[in-house]
């Protein structure tokens, strides 16, 4: 693909020659660089300082062997990654993902995106991401613990409260963070807030589990308000049924919307009466079961095999909260045909570039993940502040700060889009607002 600026296009072409197999990463870079054309053309300082060449290359990328023993006594080996992308505005910060489809390309795309997302939160956090091709699904608690310990045996030398503070992501929840934290403490002989998403009894923040989902709904509410619309009385679809989806469902319901469909990687449920988030919580967080069992608790609901069909249902607003590239061009066309008025991304990059084109061309509201799902990392930033202060703030205090941050993120995206001649384009605005702060810090710090 060609980017309509010589400098940006040159950097992108060179990057695609160096990493032709890194599809997800290249897709994420192309998406950001395309939005930056007016910024690069407004000032030659970015090219003079080689900002784009530097911002697309991680400062450090670590790949390591993780050897562990399963319950049957068999030795297992996985690959671990930590990509420390950019530390211009603060210590590296970003989640760990454990899933069988994790590759270097996926972690690089997530780390690249994280740099801009963290910048948008206004908190001092650089960008990073990590993980492994280990899939916790179907593993016993003992296997999960041994894997997490083996993973930390290498990771601990690359992280620290002022260096790099990992968190959770897909497949890494409170249980995994606990095991990772315990092993870090043992190896480093040091008690510090080196991971976020910790349990409340050992330095976690209230409202962290809720933060990404609640934040998504606060962001969507701000955007809808600007368009004289509201979640109240609307019908919404939320894909996924993990951390982000569950708390999105809770906040959407509290704000007066009806959540009519949710999914997991096997299938989806529909209930026009509104899905009960408390039942989803019980199934997913307590029983660690499949979403198909929802119909055993709520007989008015129906279960369908296959997750993509979820977008065929009629809704006012769609919230993809499961995984990357889950809304294809065809699904986007169906949403348009069904009269959907907005798509707000909760997962990281859940819409393909072709889907985004369809969504925007047809005038639907669209919020990109790096802006609308920044609530999780924002509260992780607040957890770091509480750890540094050795204090714990109340749920209301943290939730209030989260709401304020999400509204500010929306405003800064809208203002940047307006300033650079693309009013209403929140995708471009997010890329520009996130980029400017990081680029200015990089220029101030010289060529390092
Ligand atoms: P979880 O592991 O808690 O949940 C992921 C959910 O998505 C599970 O219900 C999973 O189902 C489902 N899923 C996976 N693949 C598909 C698919 N192809 N179709 C439908 N459902 C699918 O992860 P999170 O909720 O934490 O993360 C979800 C997304 O949000 C990711 O993109 C993540 O990077 C992003 N995110 C998360 C943040 C957080 O704070 N947790 C912060 C910012 C972004 P199954 O049980 O079958 O695997």
Nearest CA to ligand 1 atom 34: 348
| Host H or E run for residue 158 | none
Task: Provide the token pair at 231.
Answer: 């979640």
Nearest residue (CA) to ligand 1, atom 22: 265
CATH topology classification for 211-372? Rossmann fold (3.40.50)
Determine the Cα–Cα distance for residues 246 and 92; give it in Å rounded to an integer: 27
What DSSP state is assigned to residue 91? S
SS3 string, 325-351, reads CCECHHHHHHHHHCCCCEEECCCCCCE
Give me ligand 1 centre to Cα 323, in Å.
5
- Compute, in angstroms, the gap from residue 419 CA to the centroid of ligand 1: 34
Q: Which of 28, 110, 125, 244 to mutate to test the pocket of ligand 1 (most atoms within 8 A of CB)?
A: 244
Distance from residue 41's CA to the centre of ligand 1 (Å): 37
Reported as type and span, the H/E element at residue 62 is strand 60-69
Could you tell me if 270 and 300 are in contact, meaning their C-beta atoms sit under 8 angstroms apart?
no
Residues in the chain: 448
Nearest protein Cα to ligand 1, atom 47: 265
User: Do the two domains 60-190 and 211-372 of this chain adopt the same fold?
Assistant: yes
- Ligand 1 pocket, Cβ-based, cut-off 6 angstroms: 168-171, 212, 239-245, 263-266, 307, 321-323, 326, 346-348, 373, 376
DSSP 1: -
Single out the residue of 267, 278, 216, 215 nearest to residue 240, CA to CA. 267
How far CA 333 is from CA of 311, 327, 330, in Å, comes to 10, 10, 5
Q: Parallel, antiparallel, or unpaired: how do β-strands 267-270 and 302-305 relate? A: antiparallel
Q: Which atom of ligand 1 is nearest to the CA of 211?
A: 40
pLDDT value of residue 396? 98
Give the residue, by CA position, lying nearest to ligand 1 atom 27: 170
CA–centroid distance, 97 to ligand 1, in Å, is 10
Ligand 1 atom with minimal separation from the 310 CA? 20
CA–CA separation, 190 and 233 (whole Å): 50
Annotated domain spans of the chain: 6-55, 60-190, 211-372
Per-residue pLDDT of the chain (448 residues; tens, 9 = 90+): 789 999 999 999 999 999 999 999 999 999 999 999 999 999 999 999 999 999 999 999 999 999 999 999 999 999 999 999 999 999 999 999 999 999 999 999 999 999 999 999 999 999 999 999 999 999 999 999 999 999 999 999 999 999 999 999 999 999 999 999 999 999 999 999 999 999 999 999 999 999 999 999 999 999 999 999 999 999 999 999 999 999 999 999 999 999 999 999 999 999 999 999 999 999 999 999 999 999 999 999 999 999 999 999 999 999 999 998 999 999 999 999 999 999 999 999 899 999 999 999 999 999 999 999 999 999 999 999 999 999 999 999 999 999 999 999 999 999 999 999 999 999 999 999 999 999 999 999 999 9
pLDDT at 2: 87
- Return the SS3 of 100: coil
Rounded to a whole number of angstroms, the distance between the first and last alpha carbons of the chain is 30
* Ligand 1 atom closest to 241 (CA): 9
Are 387 and 203 in contact by the 8 Å Cβ rule? The answer is yes
CATH 3.30.390.30 fits 60-190, yes or no: no
Residue nearest to atom 17 of ligand 1 (CA): 265
129 is catalytic: yes
Distance between CA atoms of 423 and 421, rounded to whole angstroms? Answer: 6
């Amino acid at each position: 693909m060609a980017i309509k600026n010589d400098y940006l296009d040159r950097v992108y072409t060179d990057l695609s020659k160096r990493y032709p197999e890194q599809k997800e990463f290249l897709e994420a870079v192309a998406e950001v660089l395309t939005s930056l054309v007016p910024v690069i053309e407004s000032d030659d300082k970015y090219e003079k300082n080689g900002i784009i060449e530097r911002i697309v290359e991680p400062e450090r990328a670590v790949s390591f062997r993780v050897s562990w023993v399963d319950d049957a006594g068999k030795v297992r080996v996985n690959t671990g990654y930590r990509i420390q992308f950019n530390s211009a505005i603060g210590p590296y910060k970003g989640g760990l993902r454990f899933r069988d489809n994790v590759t270097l390309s996926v972690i690089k795309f997530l780390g690249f995106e994280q740099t801009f997302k963290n910048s948008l939160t206004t908190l001092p956090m650089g960008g990073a991401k990590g993980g492994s091709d280990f899939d916790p699904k179907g593993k016993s608690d003992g296997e999960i613990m041994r894997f997490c310990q083996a993973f930390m045996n290498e990771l601990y030398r690359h992280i620290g409260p002022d260096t790099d503070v990992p968190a959770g992501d897909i497949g890494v929840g409170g249980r995994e963070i606990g095991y990772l934290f315990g092993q870090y403490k043992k190896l480093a002989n040091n008690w510090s807030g080196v991971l976020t998403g910790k349990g409340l009894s050992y330095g976690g923040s209230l409202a962290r589990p809720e933060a990404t989902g609640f934040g998504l709904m606060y962001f969507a509410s701000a955007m809808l308000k600007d368009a004289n619309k509201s979640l109240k009385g609307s019908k919404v679809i939320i894909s996924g049924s993990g951390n982000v989806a569950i708390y999105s469902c809770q906040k959407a319901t509290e704000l007066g919307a009806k959540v009519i469909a949710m999914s997991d990687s096997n299938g989806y449920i529909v209930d026009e009466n509104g899905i009960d988030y408390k039942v989803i919580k019980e199934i997913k967080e307590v029983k660690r079961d499949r979403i198909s069992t929802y119909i055993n608790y709520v007989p008015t609901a129906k279960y369908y095999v296959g997750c993509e069909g979820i977008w065929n249902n009629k809704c006012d607003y769609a919230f993809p909260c499961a995984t990357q590239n889950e809304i294809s061009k065809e699904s986007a066309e169906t949403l348009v045909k069904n009269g959907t008025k907005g798509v707000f991304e909760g997962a990281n990059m859940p819409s393909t570039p072709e889907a985004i084109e369809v969504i925007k061309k047809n005038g639907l509201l669209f919020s990109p993940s790096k802006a609308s799902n920044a609530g999780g990392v924002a509260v992780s930033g607040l957890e770091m502040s509480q750890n540094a202060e050795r204090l714990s703030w109340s749920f209301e205090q943290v939730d209030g700060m989260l709401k304020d941050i999400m509204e500010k993120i929306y405003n800064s995206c809208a203002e940047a889009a307006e300033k650079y001649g693309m009013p209403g384009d929140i995708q471009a605005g997010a890329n520009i607002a996130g980029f400017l702060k990081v680029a200015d810090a990089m220029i101030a710090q010289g060529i390092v």
